[in-house]
Amino acid sequence: MMARGARALAWARIVAGTAALCAACAEVRPVASVAPTFERDVRPTLEARCGQCHGARRPAAGWSASRFTDVIACVPASTDGGVPDAGAWPSRLAAALARPDHQGLLDDAQRALIARWIAAGAPAARGAMHPPGFSDPRSADFHARSLRSQRWAPMLDATRAEACGRCHEGSPARPAGVTGAAGDAPSCTSCHEQPGGPLSCGTCHGDGERATPPRDPCLFPGASPSAGAHEAHLRASPLHASPFTCETCHPSRTADFTGAHGDGVVDLAFDAERAGDGGTYDPATRTCTVGCHRQGGARPTPAWNELGPMRCNDCHSSPPANHPRGECVACHAEPDATGSSLRPGPLHLNARVDLGNGNGTCTACHGRTGDMDPWPETGSHTAHRAPSGGAPVACATCHTVPTRTEDPSHFEAAPRAAVRLTGAAGARGARPMYDTTTRSCAEVACHGAGLAGTRADVPTWGDPSGVARRCGQCHGVPPAPPHTTRTDCASLICHGGEVALSPSGPVITAAGRALHQNGVIDYAGAGP
């Protein structure tokens, strides 16, 4: 690249040479050069002879004859996989023209024209204004180089003598009163087709639509290929389904170059909401020390140019050391059961450890997804959540309920979900038991234990038959003597109000549910 002083001198020369013309820019007629140029001579020939198959859209072999930068691009861009050989395009074009199927396409004069154009440095549109390589990113004279060495002042400051906007349409700043183009000056937007023209975010550090490095390795063979870590961070992935933005790692930037943007120093500032507090980047080793990666895994401080995907054990071990045992899915919504893959979702890498669906309550893991009801739908839970003949049964009747998720009793107890029957289940001195093998309950007061003359029911957890709900299952209807043998228990005198008669037999009324199976024998709708 040219030193800053030499570049300034070159500009001085160009500007001096054109100053007279520039005073009346609209009338500029640059002296036509003898060498053929792309715009004037080559493009019409290529469009006529090659455009049919090598047009702008879906060109054959990926080589388009319609735009200058496409014509001088590596031919074809991707066959060899690696970084294309930038210098090779003219010889590959020549080779193509020598192919049997291409040989007859150009006459001798047209072939000679193309040869002369290449020999002259393949200028895009050369008049007296700019040096030959002005449109070729690989040339030392490429316009972007001199623009950058001046922090783009010629295109941003319309008052300068060499301001691009004096002669070119589509330049970000044009002097007052100047419209149209000087002579053959092409509009900047004829090549800079993105909505922002030359100021679009991909112009100085990306590739067309893409704002981030790397640049096209064909046009910028010296550019750092390690810029690839941008892609890994900006594309959505199961690791971070909610996308990162430039502001996750950089200060916010607009097309304003009066401050630190474009000053030659890459600025990094990590967003604490995403990366945790105190994230840093070391430009010497190119390593990041951020909460996203530093979680006790195998690669806690990765380098920006490190290759290969990030695996589950790289940031944290999977599961972390001394972790509650069990399938990950019992406690986390995004991993698979073994912690070797992630489903796309908003919870991973959001700078917060999420349990279950992330709602922060017991229902994050318990109950149906999407509501705040903690009742599991497994086994006979639903029957106990809203029994037809009694009041809802509290979790604490059957389980030791943790007050906080992290309580040791919650995850550490063995067996998991130990059923410990207490409260109403042990009324009347009953000693209720749950058998994990048969999944059945015995000696439960709610199911009749401790009632005179009754053998308690032994219901099976998850039995779908509904038999455990039947009158007569837990106690006789009526119970054995000395209970009366009368069957009109719905009469007001004894249990009236608690029981009603229906065509299919006696039922517990809505009001009666509070009294029935509550551990207390109730008479006449009230306690004894």
375-414 residues near ligand HEC, rule: CB under 6 A = 375-376, 378-379, 381, 384, 389, 393, 395, 397-402, 404-406, 409-411, 413
Binders of ligand HEC among 288-327, rule CB under 6 A? 291-293, 295, 304, 310, 312, 314-316, 318-320, 323-324, 326-327
CA angle 503, 508, 512 (to 5 degrees): 145
Binder to ligand HEC among 35, 158, 255, 458 (CB under 6 A)?
255
Backbone dihedral angles phi then psi of residue 58, each to the nearest 5 degrees: 45, 60
How far apart (Å, rounded) are the C-alpha atoms in residues 10 and 141? 10
Decide whether 5 or 144 has the Cβ nearer to ligand HEC: 144
Distance of closest approach, residue 506 Cβ to ligand HEC, in angstroms: 4
Binding pattern for the stretch 216-235 against ligand HEC, x by CB under 6 A and - elsewhere: --------x--x--x--xx-
458 lies in the binding site for ligand HEC (CB under 6 A): no
Nearest to 63 by CA among 85, 48, 78, 43: 78
How far apart (Å, rounded) are the C-alpha atoms in residues 208 and 363? 47
Nearest to 186 by CA among 113, 270, 125, 275: 125
- The region of 2-10, 80-88, 263-271, 480-488 touching ligand HEC under the rule CB under 6 A is 263-271
- CB atoms < 10 A from the CB of 102, how many? 14
Binder to ligand HEC among 347, 426, 442, 509 (CB under 6 A)?
347
Decide whether 5 or 284 has the Cβ nearer to ligand HEC: 284
- The region of 2-10, 80-88, 328-336, 480-488 touching ligand HEC under the rule CB under 6 A is 328-336
State which residue has the least CB distance to ligand HEC: 127
Binder to ligand HEC among 280, 301, 369, 436 (CB under 6 A)?
436
Distance of closest approach, residue 278 Cβ to ligand HEC, in angstroms: 14
How far apart (Å, rounded) are the C-alpha atoms in residues 525 and 508? 11
- CB atoms < 10 A from the CB of 249, how many? 23
Binders of ligand HEC among 47-86, rule CB under 6 A? 49-50, 52-54, 60-61, 63, 68-69, 75-76
Is-contact 281 305, C-beta < 8 A? no
Distance of closest approach, residue 139 Cβ to ligand HEC, in angstroms: 9
Binder to ligand HEC among 117, 192, 217, 279 (CB under 6 A)?
192
350 lies in the binding site for ligand HEC (CB under 6 A): yes
Long-range CB contacts for residues 250-256, cutoff 8 Å, separation at least 24: 255/172, 255/196, 255/199, 255/201
Decide whether 5 or 526 has the Cβ nearer to ligand HEC: 526
205 lies in the binding site for ligand HEC (CB under 6 A): yes
40 lies in the binding site for ligand HEC (CB under 6 A): no
Inter-CA distances, 521 with 446, 452, 459, 495, 527, Å: 11, 11, 21, 10, 7
Inter-CA distances, 42 with 39, 49, 109, 123, Å: 6, 11, 12, 10
Torsion sign over Cα 27, 32, 33, 36 = positive
Binder to ligand HEC among 42, 86, 124, 430 (CB under 6 A)?
124
How far apart (Å, rounded) are the C-alpha atoms in residues 391 and 516? 8
Category of 417 on φ-ψ map: left (φ > 0), alpha (ψ -120 to 50) or beta: left
42 lies in the binding site for ligand HEC (CB under 6 A): no
Binders of ligand HEC among 128-167, rule CB under 6 A? 129-130, 134-135, 137, 143-144, 147-148, 152, 154-155, 162, 164, 166-167
